[in-house]
Structure formats: structure tokens, C-alpha cells
Amino acid sequence: METRIFQVKDPFEEDQALKEAAAILKKGGLVAFPTETVYGLGANGLDATAAARIFEAKERPQDNPLILHISMPSELDLYCKDIPVSARVLAEYFWPGPLTLVLRRRDLIPDVITAGLDTLAIRCPDHPVARALIRQAGVPLAAPSANRSGRPSPTRCSHVWEDMNGRIEGIVDGGDCKVGVESTVLDLTTSPPRLLRPGGVPLEALEDILGEVAVDEALLQQLKEGERPKAPGMKYRHYAPKAPVTVVCGAPADTAVWIFNRVDQKTGVLCFSEYAGCFPNAVVRAMGKSDDPAEQARMVFHALRSFDETNVTKIYAQCPDESGLGLAVSNRLKKAAGFHVEMVSPSLPHLTVFGITGGTGAGKTSALMVLAQMGACVIDCDAVYHTLLSESLEMRQALVKRFGDILDSSGGVDRKKLGRIVFDDPEALLALNELTHTFVTQEVERELEQAAQAGVPIAAIDAIALIESGLSKRCHRVVGVIAPEQLRVQRLMRREGIGEEYAILRIHAQKPDSFFRENCHAVLENTNDDLNAFSQTATALFVQLLNEIRKEERR
């Protein structure tokens, strides 16, 4: 059979391609179409023979029922009965959208669609092409995801082509799916309602409306031998690329270190984007940043599929945080892994301390942002110093004792006065630094203690004079951030609205790059203004250093 690709130009008008695709469906043919979640493999939902062909084309087990797709929420009553108020409320909130409701079915629905159950899964998709196609066909469309059974769901037209070319009459191309994971399936025939599949509508959003929602065990772990699943689809291995998958759960920084120690050229790594630079020997696919579950959802199936074009023999996947859309992403990954899950606990019982230093405008802040994203608390020594100036009576007294009257009328330190005293007196400057370093160090020590007590895994001390103040001794690793002078000058001018000459002057007053190269464990070179590239390089370095530290600690 030849599979045609239909390009829809305008789904709201009388589109020729849409008409042709709809005509095929009307005649009992199979046409795949885009929805906001994944591509569906559509057939006339009121025609048992047409629907039966879906099972053949997908090689889908007969006992796994299909979702009926309607073009308008109001069509719900045509196909379901005994509809509870909760269904009306949910439809009002989430339709058209990625929520499938399981309700009592009416008799006109063929048995093949519900696999003989007396319930029907139904949803109104939020995609103009899908809805226009259903309208044109004049019948509801039964549609599972348009992948071959067991394969990752298709989120692009090319995915459907890979799996279905030659097996179906047509594919309507609607570009990439914007949600990327399938709809949430909620059974409303039980009390409380039961989540059968996490998906595009987060569990939390359902709970906000319904109160209690039961979460099926089978979503979180593998069914035990002989156990009967609530949704037939739960019992099948799903979404799997050819190579076996292991899902690695834990804080991203910890899972990255864990995976880092286990990769070679034949290993696939499915990781958060910021960790993409951490596994130079492996075959890496990124799925969005660790704090961006929407992007992870859009990418996860594409990434899983893409490993099949490589020669990897195993795949490790970082497991997303399970709140919001993250629950659906982690569920798909765990199913792809056949629930082969590694739990990585933080390998150090105590705080890992990084020191971050470097001159103004070099990009310390970007490096600190990377550490913060890895779960670090950041201690900004400059801020500590300024707080102490205004809040520490002890430090003020020590300053007065050494430098005389440097207080303003309200008893605070007059920083201009102090500045004038040390400006051209190197000895005074040295004394000032020594004095403030003592107080700052004490305060940093206190904050580190606090972080350790709170169970924070990583702390980052941010200080220009990290090494001179001796604080570097407190760090497991010291990283210097350097950048070409030209770039630093530009950043400084932009950031502080100062002239070029003054910017250059300020940079020359600071330590040269060679100082950081000699005195730090590692330097990060911020060679251009590409923040993403720098973040990836920085993440890779920190993962490598964390790994070193952990190895040393184990010895």
C-alpha cells in the first residue's frame, strides 16, 4: 500500500488535502494525524472493520482499547452515558486538550474500540488539524498513538512515516507536536477518580479540581506477576528503543556523576540539556533543561527514537523531577526502561564546597548560576562584606580602632571616607583587607555550617579575593573564571554604564589571568558571549570535579 503525505494549508478553510484525507477515513481507511500530544492513527470510530485495521497496522494487542476523538466537547453525550458532573467540569477546564476521560459507553460504540469493556476513553484534542479532520470526516476518530506497538510515540510526521509507511493510506503532516507526551487518562467510573496514565494535564491540576485522585500503582512500578492492570495498556513494554534503557533517579548533579562513571562510545545518554557536555565519549541526546519539563515532554520520544539510528548498546536516562509534567516524562522513561531504575543517593554525606573566583566581567556569575542549578547554595562574599559593614558592631569597632573616625553621622561606616584612607596607602589597604577577611571568613564559615545542617549538597563561595583571603583553603575545588580582556571591558561598560578607559583601568587593577591559572584547580574560559555553550562547559567541569572529590572521599 502506498502511504500518502497530506500537507494541510489552512485547517479552518475548505482545504483540499484535508478533504481527501477525510474521504479516506469515511471509506474505512487509516489516516494518521497530528494532535497536540502525539500523532494519532485514525479510523472511523463507529466502524468496527475500520477500527480493527488499526490493530493490524500497529501490531497492537487486541485487548488494548482505543481513545475516541471528538471535534467538539459537546459530542461527549453522543458516545457516553451516566456522565458525572465531574466530567462536565473537567471538559470545561481542559477540552480541547490533553485529557482523556474514561466513562460508561453507549451501545453504538463497536466492541473492538473498547476491547469489550463497558467503558470508553474519549477526548477532544487541541489541534486545529485534528479537529478539522474529524469535522470533515463527519465521524469521531478512534486513534491510538501512530507508532508501531512498543515503539516510542510519534511526535513528528517523520516518526509516523518510519513506523507506518506502507501500512496505512495516509499521514496528515502537522509539524511537531507541542505537548509531546500523550494525554492524561483519568477513569471517572470509580470513586475517587483514578489516574490511569499521567500525561499532558498534570495530576496536580486534576487534584485542584477533584480533590482526591487515586494514582495507580502500575504507573510507578512494574506490575507483579499475574496482576491485572486497570488500563490494559499498562501491562505492555512501551516506548522502548532497541538498546536497553536504565533510568537514573536522584538530583541531576548526582545522576550526572553516576552516569559519567559508566559511559563509553557505545553508551547512549539521555540527559538534561545543561549536562549535554558532560559525557564527551558517549552518544548524547538532550531533552531540555532540568527545570523545563515542557521541553522534556516535547523531546523525550524523539530522543528515545533517535538512539535507534546509532550503535549504542545501552542507554542511561536522567530522570526528571516528578512534579507537574515531569510525572508523565518520568513515567514514559521508566516504561521505556521496563522499570529498570537506579536510585542514586548523594554520594557524600556532607557539603561539597566550590570556590569561584575571577576578575570583574569575566563571567563568575554565569558559573555560579550553573552551580545554583546543580543545587548549590551560593555565598556571595561581597554581599557578606556589605552586610557586615552595616550590621556587625564588632567589625565596625575594629575598623574604628585601626582607621580612626570613619563613621557617618548615623553611626554606620562611611565607605567613601574609608576608601580615601586606603586609596594611596598600600599598608592601610593591606590592613583593611586582613581585617575584613577575618570577619567575612567567620561569616562564610557560619553560612557553610548552616547549609550543611540543612542538607544542601553543594556550596559555592563567590569571591574576587578568594585565594588572597585564605577562603580557598575551605574549598574542595577552586575554579577561576577568566575571559579575554576585550570581552570583559565590553561587559563592564554595558553592565555599569562606565567609559572604556575606566573599565580598562579597573580590570588592570585586578589579578591577571596567569594568577588564576597558577592558583586554581581549574579555570573556565569564557571566550565568547554564548551563555549556553559556557553553561555546558561549566556543568561538564563541575561534574568532573564532583566525581574527583567523591573518589578522593571514598579512599
Closer residue to Mg ion (CB): 299 or 478:
299
193 binds ligand TXA (CB under 6 A): no
Report, in Å, the least distance between residue 145 CB and ligand TXA: 4
Query: How would you write 391-437 as a 3-class SS string?
Result: HCHHHHHHHHHHHCCCECCCCCECHHHHHHHHHCCHHHHHHHHHHHH
Q: DSSP string covering 190-256, please?
A: SSS-EEEE--SS-HHHHHHHHS--EE-GGGTSPPPTTPPPSSGGGGS--S--SS-EEEEES-HHHHH
Cβ closest to Mg ion, residue 34 vs residue 358 = 34
Binding mask 340-369 for Mg ion (x = CB under 5 A): ------------------------------
CB closer to ligand TXA out of 335 and 550: 335
Q: How far apart are CA 269 and CA 283, in angstroms?
A: 6
Q: How far is the CB of 200 from ligand TXA (least distance, A)?
A: 7
Instruction: Answer for the pair 258, 279: CB distance below 8 angstroms, yes or no.
Output: no
Picking from 256, 255, 510, the residue whose alpha carbon sits closest to that of residue 364 is: 510
Nearer to Mg ion, 145 or 183 (CB): 145
Helix (H, G, I), strand (E, B) or coil at 141: strand
Q: Which of 71, 183, 318, 330 binds ligand TXA (CB under 6 A)?
A: 183
Beta bridge partners of 378: 460
Question: Residue 120's binding partner, choosing from ligand TXA, Mg ion, none, with beta-carbon cut-off 5 to 8 A by kind?
Answer: ligand TXA
The angle, 0 to 180 degrees and rounded to 10, between the axes of the packed helices 393-403 and 426-453 is 170
Nearer to Mg ion, 119 or 442 (CB): 119
In angstroms, rounded to a whole number, what is the distance separating the alpha carbons of residues 259 and 216? 30
Q: Using CB under 6 A, which of the segments 44-52, 58-66, 386-394, 520-528 binds ligand TXA?
A: 58-66
Residue 367 binds ligand TXA, judged by CB under 6 A:
no
Q: What cell was used for 114? A: 473498547
Q: Judged by CB under 6 A, does residue 38 bind ligand TXA?
A: yes
User: 447, 460 in Cβ contact below 8 A?
Assistant: no
Among 22, 102, 489, 503, binds ligand TXA (CB under 6 A): 102
The Cα–Cα gap between 133 and 153 comes to 21
Q: Which is nearer to Mg ion, 62 or 74 (CB)?
A: 62
With respect to ligand TXA, which residue has the nearer C-beta, 237 or 350? 237
Which partner, ligand TXA, Mg ion, none, binds residue 66 by CB below 5 to 8 Å per kind? ligand TXA
Phi, psi for residue 474 in degrees, rounded to 5 = -80, -10
Please report, as residue ranges, which positions from 124 to 163 form the binding site for ligand TXA (by CB under 6 A).
Answer: 125, 143-145
**The total number of residues written for the chain in this structure:** 555
Kindly determine how many residues on this chain lie close enough to bind ligand TXA according to the rule CB under 6 A: 28
Given ligand TXA, Mg ion, none, residue 37, with its beta carbon under 5 to 8 Å by kind, binds: ligand TXA
Is 48 near ligand TXA (CB under 6 A)? no
Under 8 Å CB-to-CB from 16, ≥6 apart: which residues? none
According to DSSP, residue 145 is labeled B
Phi, psi values for residue 467, rounded to 5°: -75, -45
Q: Which of 121/369 has CB closer to Mg ion?
A: 121
Query: What residues numbered 212-271 form the site for ligand TXA, per CB under 6 A?
Result: 231-233
* Interface of this chain with Mg ion, residues 118 to 157, rule: CB under 5 A: 145
Told to check if 328 binds ligand TXA by CB under 6 A, we report no
CA–CA dist 247, 227 (Å, integer): 23
For 511, how many CA atoms within 13 A lie in the half-sphere containing its CB? 20
Q: Which residue's CB comes closest to ligand TXA?
A: 233
Interacting residues with ligand TXA (CB under 6 A) = 35, 37-38, 40, 64-67, 98, 100, 102, 114, 117, 119-121, 125, 143-145, 182-183, 185, 196-197, 231-233
